[in-house]
Chain A
Amino acid sequence: EIVLTQSPGTLSLSPGERATLSCRASQSVSSGYLAWYQQKPGQAPRLLIYGASSRATGIPDRFSGSGSGTDFTLTISRLEPEDFAVYYCQQYGNSPFTFGPGTKVDIK
């Protein structure tokens, strides 16, 4: 099973700032098969990024993903008020599919 580690656990930033979230895998993720999700309190996760760097339908271009192998990054170029949430990475290159523990982005 591939274990995903996310850092930092919490990121405290102000609107307009840049957010950089890390997801590290215990072994190489096949062909960059990694997704990112955003979850707000009381809501289901929403797909942001798949294939490590492809934005899902309707996702603003301030969200971008990068990385390969074992190290992946989600970047939010300029935080909007609605971006404060918890972000999860998920690998789907190997079964069982696994999720990281999440990074909370909160308002500084």
Chain B
Amino acid sequence: QLQLQESGPGLVKPSETLSLTCTVSGGSISSSGYYWGWIRQPPGKGLEWIGNIYYSGSTYYNPSLKSRVTISVDTSKNQFSLKLRSVTAADTAVYYCARTSSWAGKNWFDPWGQGTLVTVSS
């Protein structure tokens, strides 16, 4: 059974870089046919897609965050990572990682990690 687990600091200072890692278990991140994505949810609010990455390193991002986001992959560790630069309080959210398809028209997210809360505060 495929499982995803987010990890990283729960507190980040304003203007610094948020860094999270998602570890995939029960399957290979290098499996063809799948992208791996990040989604976030501010407390009490809705969901926002951040971006996706393929095991080859191919990425695509939400234009609203593209200038501040980098998603990378480490196939040797079966992990992918998120970096969000120049954070503000508005970036406080639960950050989820999830699997999606590389096929157009199949880009729902399933399964999801349990999520990790990142608070931006001095």
The reply to whether A88 and B62 contact each other, CB–CB distance below 8 Å, is no
A13 interface contact, C-beta 8 A: no
Chain A contacts for B33, CB-based, 8 A: none
Interface core residue of A33, A88, A96, A99 (most chain B CB under 10 Å): A96
Bound-state Cα–Cα, A92 to B37, Å: 13
Closest to A90 in B: B108
Chain B proximity of A101: nearest CB distance (Å): 5
**Contact call A92/B108, Cβ cutoff below 8 A:** yes
B34 close to A (CB within 8 Å): no
Chain A neighbourhood of B48, CB < 8 A = 99
Number of A-B contacts (CB under 8 A): 54
Tell me, in angstroms, the Cα distance from A44 to B38 when the chains sit together. Answer: 12
Q: Is the interface of B mostly helix, strand, loop or mixed?
A: loop
Inter-subunit contact B109/A33 (CB<8 Å): no
Complex Cα gap A42–B96 (Å): 12
Report the interface size class on chain A.
Answer: 20 to 34
Q: Can you report 19 residue pairs joining A to B where beta carbons are below 8 Å apart? A: A33-B105, A35-B109, A44-B113, A45-B96, A45-B109, A45-B112, A46-B112, A47-B108, A47-B110, A50-B110, A88-B47, A92-B100, A92-B106, A95-B60, A96-B49, A96-B62, A97-B49, A97-B107, A99-B48
Given B46, B63, B100, which contacts A96 in the complex, CB threshold below 8 Å?
A: B63
Contacts of B60 in A (CB 8 A): 95
